[in-house]
Amino acid sequence: MGTALSESDFTRLRDLRASRPGAIADALAARTRREVLRGDGRIFIVAADHPARGALAVGTDPTAMANRYELLDRLAIALSRPGVDGVLGTPDIIDDLAALGLLDDKIIVGSMNRGGLRGAAFEMDDRYTGYDVASMAAAGIDFAKTLIRVNLADPATAPTLEATARAVTEAAAAGLPIMLEPFMSRWVDGRIVNDLTADDVILSLSIAAGLGASSAYTWMKLPVVPDMERVMASTTMPTLLLGGDSGADPDETFAAWEDALTLPGVRGLTVGRTLLYPPDGDVAAAVDTAARMVHPSVLSRAS
């Protein structure tokens, strides 16, 4: 894998964080912003919100995302590729990228983050621990994102739904698009498992779609599952497809995305580990393959 950032870039980043922390807000305020939808009306977002929820594994490597410098370099490569519209991250990731000057003309999706960490006794207590709507509006963040795990056997689901409804209401009032990533979840042998049948995805998105006092700014972020046509027939909300882990065969994964991208209502992809940590290590090639799926007409004209 090639590199996009140098040691001097990282030295400046560390020095800025230590001696001029206010410069991060300045960098966010000064960046060139763009419309969320433009041109072909589709968007491709690279996701990097995994570390803050304790998800450092990729495939069989339990600490693949632990090295922050390597992650930032992979993100810099991805953001430099044509057809990449933006990045999804928690404040620590977004602040690093802003300080490095990598967010001009990019959509920033701010992760509100989930508090229920994988493997914890409190895993279903998904209170939000990252961005809130007020801080995103103040910082010029373009889009909000939440994860909503609905576990009908766990009472911690109720406050999660309430907090999400409040976030949707606040986002709509601020004119901030908000992306909801819902799952039906359950406890299995002491761990949480997300159910990924079409019926379960339809149930989860139906619950999520009704949250808040207005759905005008609500988007969906959904997994690609069998019978995706029926899933998309259950919502009128603009939808981005999520990528998941990179444990699956890349060719099968890309083929499933390509098919689902043709469905009405699907506006693009939000993918992280599959592209940032591809099996062959070629981040640029993996990102380019996904970008061509999302923006085929735009990229064909550019080539």
Sorting pLDDT into bands at 50, 70 and 90, what band is 54?
A: confident
Instruction: Give the chain's domain count.
Output: 1
The answer on pLDDT for 1 being more than 70 is: no
Does a structural domain hold residue 285? yes
Does a structural domain hold residue 104? yes
DSSP 216-257: TTEEEEE---SSHHHHHTT--S-EEEE---S-S-HHHHHHHH
Per-residue pLDDT, averaged over 120-142, amounts to 92
At 235 the pLDDT is 98
Percent of the chain with pLDDT over 70: 96
The answer on pLDDT for 246 being more than 60 is: no
The tens digit of pLDDT for each residue in 96-109 reads 999 999 999 999 99
Does a structural domain hold residue 216? yes
At 164 the pLDDT is 96
Does a structural domain hold residue 147? yes
Q: Which of 151-155, 215-219, 298-302 has the lowest mean pLDDT?
A: 298-302
Sorting pLDDT into bands at 50, 70 and 90, what band is 299?
A: low
Burial class, 103, CB count within 10 angstroms (exposed 0-12 / middle 13-18 / buried 19+): buried
At 245 the pLDDT is 60
The tens digit of pLDDT for each residue in 197-207 reads 999 999 999 99
CATH number assigned to the domain comprising residue 113: 3.20.20.70
The answer on pLDDT for 170 being more than 90 is: yes
Does a structural domain hold residue 213? yes
Identity (one letter) of the amino acid at 121? A
The tens digit of pLDDT for each residue in 7-24 reads 999 999 999 999 999 999
The tens digit of pLDDT for each residue in 22-52 reads 999 999 999 999 999 999 999 999 999 998 8
Does a structural domain hold residue 289? yes
Does a structural domain hold residue 33? yes
Does a structural domain hold residue 144? yes
The answer on pLDDT for 224 being more than 70 is: yes
Q: State which residues form the domain around 162.
A: 7-302
Per-residue pLDDT, averaged over 57-70, amounts to 91
